[in-house]
Amino acid sequence: MSFLTFLLLCLTSVASGNKANKHKPWIETEYQGIVMENDNTVLLNPPLFALDKDAPLHYAGEICGFRVHNGPSGSSSVQFEAVVLDRSTGEGLVRSKEPLDCESQREHSFTIQAYDCGEGPDGANSKKSHKATVHVRVNDVNEFSPVFVERRYEASVPEGRLFDRIVRVEALDADCSPQYSQICFYDILTPNIPFVIDNDGNIKNTEPLDSKRQRVHTFWVTAFDCGKNRAQADAQVVVTVKPSCKPGWIGWSKRVEYTPGSGSIPLFPSLHLETCEETVWNIQATVELQTGHIGKGCDRDSYSDRSVRRLCGAVRGEVDLLPPPSPAANWTSALPTLPSSDSSLVFSFNGSTHVAMVPDSIAAAISGDHFTLQLWMRRGGINTQPPTNQARGNRREEETIVCSTVKNDDSFSHYSLSVHGCRLSLFYWPDVSAARPVKFLWKLEQVCDSEWHHLSLSVQFPSVTLYVDGVTFDPALIHDNGAIPNPAPRQRLVIGACWGNDWLNQRQYEDCDNSQEASYVGGYRGLLSGVTVRPGSVEPHSVVECLYACREGLDFGDLETLGSGMKVHVNPSQSVLVLEGDDIESFNRAVQQVTYRNSLRFATPGVRPLKLTTSLRCFNEESCLTLRQLEGYLVVLQPDAPQISLSGVGPHLARPAPEFEGPRGVPLFPELRIVCSLSHAVNTAAQGDNSWSLMSDAVAHTLDGCEVQPLGEELNPEREELLVDMDALRERGLEIINTTAYIAITGAESISVYEDVLRSVRYRLAKGSARFERRFRLSCSEMNGRYTSNELTLEVNFLHSLDSLYHPSHLLASQQQFLHPSHHTGELSGHTLPNPHRNSVVPGAATVIIMVCVGFLVVMVILGVFRIRSIHRRGEGARGGSKEDSGQWDDSALTIIVNPMESYESRMGISADTEGEGEEDEEVVESPDDANDDQRIIIKKEGRDGHPRRY
């Protein structure tokens, strides 16, 4: 019993001892760990030890293991594990399940927990410690080498300067740590070059570069990280040395050629602005095309002012106040004229003696208070600048262009157009006996710039509209309330001054009956051309614009391509174009879109000066660039001359004489054809020939004049005339000058119109005035004689019926031997009289008749000589051969001319003198022996030289 009791006590004591696992294991609350990249053992700080207060009890005081839990990210625990190195001491070890990569994840965080062995071998009643946080950092290994961002670096620098940085190279390292991922330094591998590189990769030059010595520098650079790993591949650097940078326009071409008919061409196709890296915020360029030396300021239609008005659709009825001098318009004969490149007539006024007094008959045709006054004006003439500093209120210093007093029914109205300094004024007095005058005033720079300007003044009182170069200007109304005497109620119209002495001496209006005794005031100094007045309704604006419109000028190619912030402006005459912008690239593209256009097929050749002025605005105004003005010129080449060809009319027109004596005459050019063509070279290489040939293409054209001129003596109004359809001319707006020396038809019209008009030209003779021939010449021109056609010569033959040549004598019988025996009456040898309803072109009938007469004359002379000799022999036999009597037969017998055509001439009423001489006395002498013969001897007593002629 005692032994059993002892054994029970021992078992009770052991059981009491095993139930002593009363404490939890203890570990630190936080651990910092380091693990090398490509390794798995983590070095913790502090070391991993788990303590248990139940020690040294077996099991209860021992640490059986550690458990790893997820960290904040929830994934790091998977990569790590913790193991127990010594159960009694509680030492542990943290390690990764696989090698770690710093580049993929540099830091890891998780929690760890220790647990003891419990109360027995089975681990029953095991206790766990609190959770401790473990931070593991993966230490980097220098496993990567630097890599350059680009394999090739390029830069351009101007020569002669040292730069702080020309180009910057850059390399990157894939390592995760600052020690191995940073590039510690760069190095230039190519020796003996004037460049250095710093640790940041900036390359600069060590000496000024010279583009002439070496234009391009090429070298290699490398990079090292802080672990002294070298770059895998080196980088190439190319530095181009530019010549010294000079701010300005690059690509300027001083000479630009333009071929007429090319439409629009760019003036500056490769022009661009170089600012040498200077920052600018506003650019303005002004392109000027100078055409002041061409006509009236630019290339316009080369037609007369009247023709241009017709082409522009202006209302007819204008009166030319300065027409070309002629017997019908002699009031401009005393005015000096100047040559003009266009068709207009330019008159010069000197301010004193040069005045044009328009006749009252012309002034009366333009009365009324509704009218349109148009003119071309160039103030100051060619070399004289008009004064601009006249004093106010001095009316004598005003220069009057037009001064007119006209009669309107029972009243008189007065107006005057004047210039004063840079002001244009219209002084209008609707009724000089009742209403007050009104002065319309415009301040215009165009009045005093000594350039040609077109003025159109439309008066529809009280409304007045002024167009200067096609642009409308509004006036300032000034009611002149001063003491101004009324103009004398007398019709006057003066160009270049005003009548009377400032209207103060009214007696001068009443007493002076002619312009030679009159005095003028306010003389105009300058040039005038195309001064016209049209009474009635005012001219439409579209017509005014057409009259002034230039056919050449500056333009912008495509407004849709204009960049943002760009502005373009062109003046009305299209001689000045302004570009403005803030971006250099957009500005360069816009400059290259500036074009020159000329819509004339036959543009005026010559030189047009060009100017390009540029102004820049910079943020630093003191150091802003200043560009010089560029000057060049545009050359308009000589256009291909058109060939105006007249055809369809033969060299001869033979018709019976009675047709010319009809009431309508005979048309001279019934089948006339006018063709205008342009010749151009064509390469015939396609046909196997390397040469060039000229080809002509017919073009639609406009003629402005044709002339029909009789050759030889002028037309005799009593015997012959040329007839033209005047209704057709008036309907088409053409003008005609019909004299005995020529007929001139003028006016710009199409070829078809001129063909119709010329085909209606007829030649008519008076009864009994038919001659043997008459020659005419036809020619046409374009652009007022600039291009002329060929001269078409027509010989008109008057065919006389042979029935009138019949005479019952041996003379006519002898004449018949020269006629073909098979021809009937009315036919000549080799020629047949034409059908009277058709135009026939045959050799001259006068030539045939002359040949017949000459042949017959030779026969008659031979017969006469034989007859004289026989008479002489009979006389010698009767008188015994007396020598004195033989002297009675002198040379007079040899001057006898037999005229076989006398009967024909007497019937047709044609004078024997075919050159149109006056009637001469004739003496008829019969042959002394043969009175029965029908031969007659006609002796002309007076010839052109005053001596007797014998025929």
For residue 505, the model assigns a pLDDT of 42
> Position 704: which residue type?
D
CATH no., domain 248-293+551-636? 2.60.40
For residue 404, the model assigns a pLDDT of 86
> Position 767: which residue type?
K
Sign of torsion over alpha carbons 78, 80, 85, 89: negative
Is residue 726 within a helix (H) or strand (E), and if so which, with residue range?
helix 726-732
For residue 343, the model assigns a pLDDT of 63
Please choose, from the candidates 679, 643, 704, the residue with its C-alpha nearest in 3D space to the C-alpha of residue 307: 704
- Give the strands of the sheet with 937-940, arranged side by side: 922-925, 937-940, 949-950
Is residue 530 within a helix (H) or strand (E), and if so which, with residue range?
strand 525-535
Q: Does domain 26-139 have CATH number 2.60.40.60?
A: yes
425 touches 441 (CB < 8 A): yes
Listed as ranges, residues in the chain with pLDDT below 50 are: 12-18, 383-396, 502-517, 686, 692, 803-843, 875, 877-951
Query: What confidence tens digit (pLDDT) does each residue in 852-875 have?
Result: 788 878 888 888 877 776 665 654
Q: Name residues whose C-beta falls within 8 Å of residue 639's C-beta, 6 or more positions apart in sequence.
A: 259, 260, 261, 601, 602, 603, 605
> Position 421: which residue type?
G
In the 8-state DSSP scheme, what is residue 760?
T
For residue 98, the model assigns a pLDDT of 82
Spell out the CATH class of 147-242. Answer: mainly beta
For residue 746, the model assigns a pLDDT of 86
- Report the alpha-carbon distance of residue 940 to residue 921 in Å, rounded: 7
CATH no., domain 305-382+398-501+519-548? 2.60.120.200
Task: Give the pairing of strands 346-350 and 498-499.
Answer: unpaired
The answer, as to whether pTM is greater than 0.75, is: no
As annotated, the residues of the chain forming the CATH 2.60.40.60 domain(s) are: 26-139, 147-242
For residue 896, the model assigns a pLDDT of 40
- Report the alpha-carbon distance of residue 262 to residue 821 in Å, rounded: 68
Q: How many CB atoms lie within 10 A of CB 241?
A: 20
User: Distances in Å between the alpha carbon of 922 and those of 435, 925, 939, 941, 949?
Assistant: 79, 10, 6, 7, 11
> Position 817: which residue type?
Q
What kind of fold does domain 642-678+700-799 have according to CATH? Immunoglobulin-like (2.60.40)
For residue 930, the model assigns a pLDDT of 40
Burial tier of 80 (Cβ tally within 10 Å: 0-12, 13-18, 19+): buried
For residue 353, the model assigns a pLDDT of 87
In the 8-state DSSP scheme, what is residue 317?
-
Please choose, from the candidates 374, 324, 327, 318, the residue with its C-alpha nearest in 3D space to the C-alpha of residue 347: 324
Q: End-to-end distance of the chain based on CA atoms, in angstroms?
A: 211
